[in-house]
Amino acid sequence: MIRVEFSENKLTINSTCVVDLPYPIKDAFALSGVVVVFLDPNANLGKSDQYRNLLGFDRQGNKLWEAELPTSKTSDVYWRIKQKTPLVVSSFSSYECQVDELNGKVITTEFYK
């Protein structure tokens, strides 16, 4: 079992590994041996690059992946976690995406607007 704690932009894994992230954490949890981190979707507003705010880490705090987004628009970002098992997130561009927690790849998308 992996114990996950977070406060502001600090992620703690199993009380020993601390990872400093560039933006505040909205949620973090273990899923299939991976620590899934959801960063504040508003933290990177106005930047020119796409903001990939759903991340996966191993138990040692090494980043495994940044989740794909359903579009290539710079304005796209995940704004909420709809469910954790399976991992389903909603994007600003009106897609619900099931994301593979092992590699961050989008498995399915559904346009909801």
The residues facing 30 across adjacent strands are 35
How high is the pLDDT of residue 72? Answer: 94
Under 8 Å between Cβ of 82 and 89? yes
Under 8 Å between Cβ of 73 and 50? yes
Beta-carbon contacts of residue 62 (< 8 Å; ≥ 6 apart)? none
**Mean pLDDT (whole number) for 68-89:** 96
Residue 19, SS3 per DSSP: strand
Q: Is a pLDDT exceeding 80 seen at residue 79? A: yes
Specify the number of domains making up the chain. 1
The number of CA neighbours under 13 Å toward the Cβ of 81 is 21
Whole-structure pTM value: 0.96
Taking CA atoms, 36 is separated from 2, 13, 53, 113, in Å, by: 11, 11, 10, 26
**Mean pLDDT (whole number) for 6-10:** 98
List the domain range (segments joined by +) for residue 63.
4-111
How high is the pLDDT of residue 48? Answer: 74
How high is the pLDDT of residue 51? Answer: 95
Summarize pLDDT for 33-53 with one digit per residue, the tens.
Answer: 999 999 999 999 877 789 999
CATH of the domain at 94: 2.40.10.480
Q: Is a pLDDT exceeding 90 seen at residue 13? A: yes
